[in-house]
């Protein structure tokens, strides 16, 4: 019996993609730093042995990634910039909308990432970290009568917990969901009276205070469990009867 060999098609990168890859590598390795002006088009064309359309295709790829900014015109050119997490956040937001992802999915992932961050923060925290956490909690407590101030302090506390995990990958993953989470929280707040929001703010301040104490004691597992329960309860409140709502319904 003859064996049937399956042949898979290997996609060969286009010249523009290959040039973009080489320039991207220089940026990642620090050979090209933020703010550096790239050589002129004629120099780069000669360096890579490509045509102007090919080079400009490479520029379009890197510009879409947020790795460079391109200024058109006689005095234009390309300049290096460090990609911002907001670029990834916009892409993930669009992808979630296209896939019809549920808003509850986003909150569920948050309840996986942030508790892990709390455990890491408890293990790695410094005195300066504790001071930063306490400052945000105090500001949150003082702003329970101010809708905007309380909302901002709450969001800052969540972001700080992730930052203090010291894990770059976790920070990026959590950061990509931040805009959706904040929009979900904001949408909920706008549909309820402020007295109700005040009560929720007070509950949040108490939970945040307990978490800071556990981080102070370096009780990582307890911090993780507390934060998991807090986020689960928060998600129940915020989602309410929107458990089957999609990200596109929220952001459209």
pLDDT tens column, 124-165:
999 999 999 999 999 999 999 988 899 999 999 999 999 999
Q: Which pLDDT does position 113 carry in this prediction?
A: 97
Q: Which pLDDT does position 77 carry in this prediction?
A: 85
Q: Which pLDDT does position 8 carry in this prediction?
A: 53
Domains of the chain from N-terminus onward: 15-80 (1.10.10.10), 86-251 (1.20.120.530)
- Helix extents (H) in 33-81: 41-48, 52-65
The answer to whether 37 touches 78, Cβ cutoff 8 Å, is: yes
User: In the predicted model, is pLDDT for residue 1 greater than 50?
Assistant: no
Number of CB atoms found within 10 A of residue 49's CB: 9
State how far the Cα of 248 lies from the Cα of 234, in Å rounded to an integer. 21
SS (H, E, C) 157-220: HHHHHHHCCCCHHHHHHHHHHHHHHHHHHHHHHHCCCHHHHHHHHHHHHHHHHHHHHHHHCCCH
> Per-residue confidence at 190, pLDDT binned at 50, 70, 90?
confident
Chain centroid, CA 59 distance in Å: 24
Q: Which pLDDT does position 115 carry in this prediction?
A: 98
User: In the predicted model, is pLDDT for residue 80 greater than 80?
Assistant: yes
State how far the Cα of 58 lies from the Cα of 48, in Å rounded to an integer. 11
**Average per-residue pLDDT for the chain:** 90
What percentage of the chain carries pLDDT values higher than 70? 94
Structure tokens at 152: 């901002």
Q: Which pLDDT does position 157 carry in this prediction?
A: 97
């Amino acid at each position: 019996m003859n064996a049937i060999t399956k042949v898979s098609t290997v996609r060969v990168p286009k010249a523009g993609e290959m040039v973009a890859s080489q320039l991207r590598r220089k940026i990642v390795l620090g050979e090209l730093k933020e703010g550096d002006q790239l050589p002129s088009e004629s120099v780069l064309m000669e360096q890579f042995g490509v045509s102007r359309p090919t080079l400009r295709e490479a520029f379009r790829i890197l510009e879409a990634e947020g790795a460079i900014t391109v200024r058109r015109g006689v005095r234009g050119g390309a300049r290096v910039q460090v990609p911002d997490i907001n670029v990834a956040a916009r892409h993930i937001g669009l992808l979630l909308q296209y896939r019809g992802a549920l808003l509850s999915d986003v909150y569920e992932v948050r309840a996986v990432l942030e508790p892990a961050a709390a455990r890491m923060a408890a293990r790695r925290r410094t005195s300066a970290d504790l001071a930063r956490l306490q400052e945000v909690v105090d500001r949150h407590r003082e702003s329970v009568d101010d809708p905007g101030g309380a909302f901002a302090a709450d969001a800052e506390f969540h972001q700080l917990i992730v930052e203090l995990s010291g894990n770059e990958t976790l920070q990026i993953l959590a950061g990509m969901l931040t805009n959706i989470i904040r929009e979900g929280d904001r949408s909920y707040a706008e549909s309820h009276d402020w007295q109700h929001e005040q009560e929720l703010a007070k509950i949040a301040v108490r939970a945040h205070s307990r978490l800071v104490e556990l981080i102070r004691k370096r009780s990582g597992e307890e911090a993780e469990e507390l934060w998991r329960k807090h986020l689960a309860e928060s998600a129940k409140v915020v989602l309410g009867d929107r458990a089957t709502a999609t990200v596109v319904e929220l952001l459209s």
